[in-house]
Amino acid sequence: MKRIDELFDVKYGVNLELNALTKCDEANRNAVNFVSRIAGNNGVSATVERLVDVEPISAGTISVAAGGSVLETFLQPEPYYSGRDLFYLTSRVPMTEVQKLYYCACLRANKYRYNYGRQANRTLRAIMVPDINDIPGWVDNAHLLSYDRIDAPVTRGSIRLSVAEWRSFRYDELFEIERGTGPRKQDLESGPTPFVTSTDTNNGVTAYTNHIPTHKGNTIGVNRNGSVGEAFFQEQPFCSTEDVHVLNPRFQMNKYVAMFLVTLIRKEKYRFNFGRKWGIERMESTTIRLPVDENGNPDWSFMERFIKSLPFSASI
């Protein structure tokens, strides 16, 4: 293991205030990214006009938030300005993009050590990370070009949601609901069939088994226990534990409509917990509000078009 300052020069950023800069469109030839302590959008909170007397930080460096969203860490592909409590890291030795991204992940893995009251201004340099010779082989085998344009939508143009015009439907009107069945977890043997449990990660899949699938694909699994209310679209046939209910659609469902429904189903999570499970009878009588067509039926076509208009929809 190495201290981060053994692998990178760690320097404080240019420390500008966004409200003192002139925002502009990114198409402006003088536009520069402004990186702050936010957690999303690669840390870029705005694009601003370049200042005559302030040189942007070089592309290829790593930005690290020492305050705010502490240890949010991003590789910056373009020159940028930075706000307060933001450091930038310049590699001391030659590194590939994927190696730099690996170190971004290593620094983010230390986020749990910090919060609003415990920032990283003094301790960032001393954080321990793997030496460059200890980077796992799969890192160098990653192909960044395969992620190019990953945020592209299927179709261009935004679609407005008018929730006031939606109406409620019972779950049992839309789905045939069955309890999950399959082998016990301790009886699993490795194979190609997804095994779905009541987790909240990895699309609900915690293992793969050689057991014959017990549920059809093109369905939605909803946790009645564990991470109650977590829902995932299952494209392939699968097995599951009894803590997962399987929603078999009574209509023609595709993955885009399923993504629309899954989002709404997860909105019910706050109603349930370990002591108030989401059993089949309770689920059958639960209602879900959906957009409707001129006949008052669920407008599946609209739901599909809406999901296709969103960023990343081409990667579903």
Tell whether the model's pLDDT for residue 126 goes beyond 90: yes
pLDDT attached to residue 219: 98
Which residues span the domain enclosing 103?
2-147
pLDDT attached to residue 117: 84
**Residue 50 sits in a domain of what CATH number?**
3.90.220.20
272-287 pLDDT, tens digit each:
887 888 999 999 999 9
Q: Does the pTM of the predicted model rise above 0.85?
A: no
The answer to whether the beta carbons of residues 232 and 204 sit under 8 Å apart is yes
Distance CA 257, CA 269 (A): 20
Task: Report the number of distinct structural domains present in the chain.
Answer: 2
| pLDDT (average), residues 60-76 | 96
Distance CA 42, CA 28 (A): 20
Q: Which two tokens stand for residue 125?
A: 């340099």
Distance CA 111, CA 40 (A): 15
The answer to whether residue 311 sits within a structural domain is: yes
Tell whether the model's pLDDT for residue 196 goes beyond 90: yes
Question: Does 170 lie in the same domain as 143?
Answer: no
The 10 Å Cβ neighbour count of residue 18 is 14
Tell whether the model's pLDDT for residue 142 goes beyond 90: no
Q: What is the mean pLDDT of the chain?
A: 93
pLDDT attached to residue 14: 94
Q: Which helix (H) or strand (E) holds 195?
A: strand 193-196
pLDDT attached to residue 140: 85
Question: Does 273 lie in the same domain as 207?
Answer: yes
- Kind of pairing between the strands at 62-65 and 73-75: antiparallel
Question: Does 289 lie in the same domain as 188?
Answer: yes
Predicted confidence band at 188 (pLDDT cuts at 50, 70, 90)?
A: confident
256-312 pLDDT, tens digit each:
999 999 999 999 988 888 788 899 999 999 999 999 999 999 999 999 999 999 998
β-sheet with 73-75: strand ranges across:
8-12, 86-91, 62-65, 73-75
Question: Does 126 lie in the same domain as 176?
Answer: no
Nearest to 233 by CA among 199, 209, 204: 204
57 by DSSP, 3-state: which?
strand
The DSSP bridge partners found for residue 10 are: 89
pLDDT attached to residue 147: 75
pLDDT attached to residue 274: 77
| Domain end position, chosen among 91, 113, 147 | 147
Tell whether the model's pLDDT for residue 73 goes beyond 90: yes
Residue 263 makes CB contacts below 8 A (sequence gap 6+) with none
Question: Does 167 lie in the same domain as 106?
Answer: no
